Amino acid sequence: MGTKTQEHEWVGRSNALTKLRGGAFKYACLGTALFGIVTLLVLLAYVTLDAIELQEAEPIWFAILGVTFVLPVALFGWYVWGTPAADVAKTSVGGVLLAAGLGGFFIVAFTIITPHVWAAYVVFAVFPAIAAVRYGDRLPAIDGSGPAVMATVTLGAIVATVFLEPITAIFAMAKPWLLYLLTLAIPTATALIWWSRTREDRAATIAAAATVGGTIALGLLVEVGVLETGGAPIVFLIGFVLPATIVLAHGYRRGPEARAGLLALPTLVGGVVALVAVAWAQGVPMPNSWIRPEFYLEGPSRTPENAGLYPPIVGSVFMLIVMVVAVFPLGVGAAIYLEEYAPNNRLTRLIRINLTNLAGVPSVVYGLLGLAIIARHFGLGRGTVITAGLTVGLLVLPIVIIASQEAIRSVPDSVREASYGMGASRWQTTREVVLPEAFPGILTGTILALGRAIGETAPLIMIGASTSVSSAPTELFGNATAMPLQIFSWQSRVQPDFRYGVVAAGVITLLVILLGMNAAAIILRNRLEKR
Amino acid sequence: MSDNHQTTTDAQTPTGDDSDPIVNVSRSLEDLSKEATTRTTSRSDRTLIETRDLDVYYGDERAISSVDVEIPERQVTALIGPSGCGKSTFLRCINRMNDRIDVCRVEGQVEFDGKNVYDEDVDPVALRREIGIVFQQPNPFPKSIYDNVAFGLRVQGLDDEVDERVHRALERAALLEEIEGRLDESGLELSGGQQQRLCIARAIATDPDVILMDEPASALDPIATSRIEDLIDELSEEYTVVIVTHNMQQAARISDKTAVFLTGGELVEFDDTDKIFENPEHQRVEDYITGKFG
Amino acid sequence: MEGIPMSGDVSQREWQRPEAKVRKERIYEYVLLGCATLTVAITIGIIFTLFSDAVYFFQEYAGLLEGSTADAVREFVAGKEWVPTIEPYSYGLLPLLSGTIVITVAAAAVALPCGLGAAIYLSEYARPTTRAYLKPALEVLAGVPTIVYGYFALAYVTPFLDRFLDLSTFNALSASIMMGIMIIPMVSSISEDAMSAVPDSLRAAGYGLGATKFDVSTRVVVPAAFSGIVSSFILAFSRAIGETMIVTVAAGQNPKMLILDPTRLDENLYDSVQTITSAMVQAAGSDTAGGTPVFWSMFALGLALFVVTFVMNVIADVIQRRYREAY
Q: Give the model confidence (pLDDT) of C263-289 as tens digits.
A: 777 778 888 999 999 999 988 887 656
DSSP helix/strand/coil, A64:
helix
Domain identity same for C71 and C135: no
- At A7 the pLDDT is 57
Q: What is the pLDDT of residues C229-264, one digit of tens each?
A: 999 999 999 999 999 999 999 998 888 888 887 777
Mutate to test the interface with B, among A138, A198, A422 (most CBs of B within 10 A): A422
- Is the confidence at residue A199, as pLDDT, over 50? yes
Q: Is B265 helix (H, G, I), strand (E, B) or coil?
A: coil
Q: Which range marks the domain in which residue C50 is found?
A: 17-78
pLDDT of A80 reads 85
Same domain for A334 and A256: no
Dihedral, CA atoms, A104, A107, A111, A114, nearest 10 degrees? 150
Q: Which of B125, B186, B214, B244 to mutate to test the interface with A (most CBs of A within 10 A)?
A: B125
Contact (CB<8Å) B238/C6: yes
Q: Which DSSP state fits B95?
A: T
The total domain count for chain C is 2
Q: Give how far C132 is from chain B: nearest CA, Å.
A: 29
Same domain for A52 and A95, yes or no, is: no
* Residue A512 located in a structural domain: yes
Residue whose C-alpha is closest to residue A483's, from A460, A515, A449: A460
The arithmetic mean of pLDDT across residues B166-180, rounded, is 88
Residue predicted with more confidence, A480 or B1: A480
Peptide bond into C88 cis (omega under 30): yes
Mean pLDDT computed over every residue of chain C: 87
- Specify burial of residue B244 (Cβ count, 10 A radius: 0-12, 13-18, 19+): buried
Evaluate whether residue C12 is within a structural domain. Answer: no
* B136 to A270, A418, B234: CA distances (angstroms): 58, 11, 20
Q: In Å, what is the CA distance from A498 to each residue of A55, A278, A304, B108, C173?
A: 17, 31, 6, 79, 23
In a shared domain, residues C72 and C171: no
Q: What is the distance, to the nearest Å, from the Cα of residue C282 to the centroid of all Cα atoms in its chain?
A: 21
Range A376-401 average pLDDT: 92
CA–CA min distance B128, chain A (Å): 5
Is the predicted pLDDT of residue A362 greater than 60, yes or no? Answer: yes
**Burial bucket for residue C144 (CB in 10 Å: 0-12, 13-18, 19+):** buried
Q: Is residue A298 one of the residues assigned to a domain?
A: no
Three-state secondary-structure class, residue B56: strand
Mean per-residue pLDDT of chain B: 82
A415 at the C interface (CB within 8 A)?
no
More confident call, A150 vs C189: C189
Q: A86 to chain B, minimum CA–CA distance in Å?
A: 29
Q: pLDDT per residue over A91-114, tens digit each?
A: 888 889 999 999 999 988 888 888
CA distance A275 to A67: 8
DSSP string, A381-417: -TTBHHHHHHHHHHHHHHHHHHHHHHHHHTS-HHHHH
Cβ atoms of A184 and A238 within 8 Å: the answer is: yes
Q: What is the C-alpha separation between B187 and A428, in angstroms, rounded?
A: 20
Residue C101 shares a structural domain with residue C74: no
Say what the pLDDT of residue C197 is. 87
What is the 8-class DSSP label of residue B260?
A: E
Whether residues A414 and B126 touch (CB distance < 8 A) is answered with no
pLDDT at A9 over 70: no
Q: According to the model, what pLDDT value does residue C95 have?
A: 92
CB-nearest partner of A432 from B100, B135, B155: B155
In a domain, C290, yes or no: no
Task: Determine the longest span between alpha carbons in chain A, in angstroms.
Answer: 104
Task: Kindly state whether residues A274 and A144 are assigned to the same domain.
Answer: yes
Q: How confident is the model at residue B175 (pLDDT cuts 50, 70, 90)?
A: confident
Given an 8 Å threshold on Cβ–Cβ distance, is A198 in contact with B203?
no
Which of residues C323 and A446 earns the better pLDDT score? A446
C13/B113 CB distance under 8 A: yes
Inter-chain touch B165–C22, beta carbons under 8 Å: no
Q: Cα–chain-centroid distance for residue B40? A: 17
Q: Which amino acid is at B88?
A: S
Higher pLDDT, B109 or A150: B109
Mean pLDDT of all residues in B116-126: 89
What is the pLDDT averaged over residues C57-76? Answer: 88
**Which residue in B has a C-alpha nearest to residue A425's C-alpha?**
B125
Same domain, C168 and C260: yes
Taking residues A238-254, report their average pLDDT: 86
Q: Please, which residues 226-245 of chain B have a Cβ atom closer than 8 Å to chain C?
A: 238
Q: Does C43 share its domain with C168? A: no
Asked if C242 and C305 count as a contact pair (C-beta separation under 8 A), the reply is: yes
Domain count for chain A: 3
Whether the complex's predicted ipTM surpasses the cut of 0.85: yes
* Residues in chain C closer than 8 A to B118 (CB atoms): none
How many H-runs (helices) and E-runs (strands) does chain B carry?
11, 10
Question: Residue C86: inside a domain, yes or no?
Answer: no
Summarize pLDDT for A280-294 with one digit per residue, the tens. 888 888 788 888 888
Give the model's pLDDT for residue B22.
Answer: 43
Higher pLDDT pick, C290 / A329: A329
Q: How confident is the model at residue B14 (pLDDT cuts 50, 70, 90)?
A: very low
Do B139 and A414 count as a contact with CB atoms less than 8 A apart? yes
Q: Quick one: C63 and C200 in the same domain?
A: no
Q: What is the pLDDT of residues A413-450, one digit of tens each?
A: 999 999 999 989 999 899 889 998 898 899 999 999 99
Classify residue C6: in a domain, yes or no: no
Q: Is a pLDDT exceeding 50 seen at residue A2?
A: no
Q: Is B207 on the interface with C (CB under 8 A)?
A: yes
The verdict on C307 and C174 lying in the same domain is yes
Does any domain span residue C244? yes
A30 and A90 together in one domain? no
Among B113, B123, B238, the residue with its CB nearest the CB of C8 is: B113
Percent of residues, chain C, with pLDDT higher than 90: 50
Look at residue B21 in the predicted model and tell me its pLDDT.
42
Domain encompassing residue A448: 304-530
Distance (Å) of CA C258 to CA A265, C73, C190, C248: 57, 21, 31, 18
Domains along the sequence of chain B with CATH: 41-289 (3.40.50.300)
Q: Smallest CA–CA separation between B106 and chain C, in Å?
A: 19
CATH number at residue C259: 1.10.3720.10
Residue of A317, A470, A462 lying closest to A376 (CA atoms):
A462
pLDDT of residue A504: 92
What mean pLDDT comes out for the span B48-66? 89
Q: Tell me: do A340 and A279 sit in the same domain.
A: no
In C43-102, the residues whose Cβ lies within 8 Å of chain A are: 43, 45-46, 49-50, 53
For residues A249, A254, A260, A266, the Cα torsion angle rounded to the nearest 10 degrees is: -20
Q: How far apart are CA A91 and CA A77, in angstroms?
A: 14
CA distance A122 to chain C (A): 25
Q: Would you state the pLDDT for residue C4?
A: 42
Query: Are A368 and A421 part of one and the same domain?
Result: yes
**B166, B149 contact by CB (below 8 A):** yes
Q: At C8, is the pLDDT very low, low, confident or very high (cuts 50, 70, 90)? A: very low
Is the pLDDT at C1 greater than 80, yes or no?
Answer: no
CATH number at residue A436: 1.10.3720.10
Cβ–Cβ below 8 Å for A337 and C28: no
DSSP string, A493-516: ---HHIIIIIHHHHHHHHHHHHHH
Same domain flag for A459 and A438: yes
Q: CA B231, CA A97: separation in Å to the nearest integer? A: 54
C8 belongs to a structural domain = no
A425 chain-B contacts, CB cut-off 8 A: 125, 155
Q: Would A499 be classed as within a structural domain? A: yes
Mean pLDDT of B221-236: 88
Query: Where does the pLDDT of residue A495 fall: very low under 50, low under 70, confident under 90, or very high at 90 and above?
Result: confident
Q: Find the residue in C nearest to B158 (Cα).
A: C1
Asked if the C-beta of A45 comes within 8 angstroms of chain C's C-beta atoms, the answer is no
